[in-house]
Chains A and B, each alone.
Chain A
Amino acid sequence: DQQVKQNSPSLSVQEGRISILNCDYTNSMFDYFLWYKKYPAEGPTFLISISSIKDKNEDGRFTVFLNKSAKHLSLHIVPSQPGDSAVYFCAATRTDSWGKLQFGAGTQVVVTP
């Protein structure tokens, strides 16, 4: 049962433009959401998170938006840089669950010159 879904397996964007990655979830009990970035043959690295009490969180070029009613979150990267080329995973959890994260399948982002 996939509770976190990333329906776009890949995304290609030009350098300098905006990258928008989408994520949907089905469990209304999730109250904390995270994005991770992963390069080939490496472990994922934490990027940004958002609590369900907020609808936006910004960290430099990365902004996460949360729409609780739609059970949808998105990650915006502005401007996109070649080093942003990686797989991005969305994750969700309940804050009473000791960090048991549910991950999406990931979106491969390719930033072209």
Chain B
Amino acid sequence: SQTIHQWPATLVQPVGSPLSLECTVEGTSNPNLYWYRQAAGRGLQLLFYSVGIGQISSEVPQNLSASRPQDRQFILSSKKLLLSDSGFYLCAWSVGGNPYEQYFGPGTRLTVT
């Protein structure tokens, strides 16, 4: 069966510090991968999606970037965090034939202080 891992679960970082969140998927090949953010009281906002290694599409201009160095690894990064980057970050995957039914990881709670 497929599983998705995200780490860390919680993170407190000062403004201006770098960020690296990692997501890995097991039990499937060539998944579509997604990064979402949920700000307080808001729905999930799609940040990036990837349909293959090295293929990244950005949905929202921002202080963040994403990379997919391996088929089942998706990384969210920032060079300098802003206070507005605080939120709950979720990684998700789907299969190519049905990209709409997405399966989410446990999430990372990021607080920028």
Contacts and interface: CB of A to CB of B under 8 A. Distances in A.
Interface of A: 2, 4, 6, 32, 34, 36, 41-46, 49, 89, 91, 93, 95, 98-106
Interface stretch (B11-19, B66-74, B77-85, B97-105): B97-105
Contacts of A102: 46
B94 interface: yes
Interface residues of B, number: 27
Interface of B: 4, 32, 34, 36, 41-46, 49, 51, 57, 59, 90, 92, 94, 99-107, 109
Nearest to A99: B99
Given A42-B106, A42-B107, A100-B59, A95 B100 contact: yes
A89 B107 contact: no
